[in-house]
Amino acid sequence: MTFTDTDKSPPCPRQDEHRPSLNILLCAPRGFCAGVDRAIQIVEKSLEIYGAPVYVRHEIVHNKFVVENLKAKGAVFIEELEEIPPHHTDRPVIFSAHGVPKSVPIDAQTRRMFYIDATCPLVTKVHHEAMRHYKMGLDIVLIGHAGHPEVIGTMGQLPPHAVHLVETVADVETINISDPSRLAFCTQTTLSVDDTADIVAALKAKFPHIIGPGREDICYATTNRQEAVKMVAPRVEAMLILGSPNSSNSNRLVEVAKSYGCPNALLIGDQSQIPWDRLEGISSLGLSAGASAPEILIKNVIAALEEKYSVTVEEITLTREHVTFNIPRILRDAQDNYAQGRDKQAK
């Protein structure tokens, strides 16, 4: 059909007709876990009650968006207590959700610092397990990643050389134990469930009398997010995991996706890192987020995808989580006193 100058222009097609269709399978659970939410609350409430600056030893959780947001509110992130200026030793200092060695609170007390411990209660459980086994005279094997803050914190609950760290099945063969009948193991809370199961099997094969934790050390949130990814990965052509490069649990989600049927799985920090070339020609996309990544990052990615695709979103739900952890009592009491003071001022 041709058109002359006097003809009306043809109606513009709907914008969506120009866009390829993209079906997003959104994993649930995803994003923040109870320990991360608690840690962030601790920093935010400390800023509200005590004002800025509030010091935080190490990133409170491993997510750039969260850290930058807290910096903007007045949190100052440090790696060691000695970085706090002498005239600020009365300011609150918060220990990150990953936990710290015993030497850190001792150092804080020596420096007469006011500290608040934001260690995830599930990490604290592992600390208690390790200490209990050590007091029973057992050698300790810790399954985890060398150099990760949680591993440093757990190993730091015990004297030097009291813990044997293993990262792989191959590492199990290198362990030399003086009395194999007196041995126990613990694990980092954010590991791959499948990889850890293989390492535990190797430990039990070599040391039949080894004692494990009373309950699984890998936390509920790590397990749930990995299982949700396992459900989605075989059904999609690509998968994006929201999280920071230094987030252990986020990296494990990428590995799980690749192992369970989606080799085109990538870790991105936010919508600006969407690898458009890797998505070219696909019609299905899996989406999830590590336990330290806020939901706003998922929403921003979907919004960016909607600029280029006709998007439908289907949430694939493994389970609903209802776990919550209280903030420390010292902060709850301070919050109550702060609220009472504001009420009096209002009157």
> Active-site residue numbers?
150
Q: Which two tokens stand for residue 137?
A: 């005279």
Alpha carbons 34 and 321: distance in angstroms, whole number:
9
Helix (H, G, I), strand (E, B) or coil at 24: strand
Give the DSSP H/E element, type plus range, for residue 177. Answer: none
Count of CA atoms in the C-beta half-sphere (13 A) of 268? 22
- Burial label, 3 (beta-carbon count in 10 A; 0-12, 13-18, 19+): exposed
Q: Which two tokens stand for residue 58?
A: 């190490």
Chain centroid, CA 163 distance in Å: 24
Q: Output phi, psi for 67, to 5 deg.
A: -65, -45
Distances in whole angstroms, Cα of residue 93 to Cα of each of 27, 73, 149:
35, 15, 17
Q: What share of the chain is helix, strand, coil (3-state, %, to 5)?
A: 45, 20, 40
Give the DSSP H/E element, type plus range, for residue 55. Answer: strand 54-57
* Long-range pairs of 161-168 with CB within 8 A, sequence gap ≥ 24: 162/134, 163/130, 164/139, 164/140, 165/141, 166/141, 166/142, 166/199, 166/203, 167/143, 168/199
Give the DSSP H/E element, type plus range, for residue 61. Answer: none
DSSP structural state of residue 211: B
Distances in whole angstroms, Cα of residue 291 to Cα of each of 3, 154, 206, 313:
57, 20, 33, 21
Helix (H, G, I), strand (E, B) or coil at 214: coil
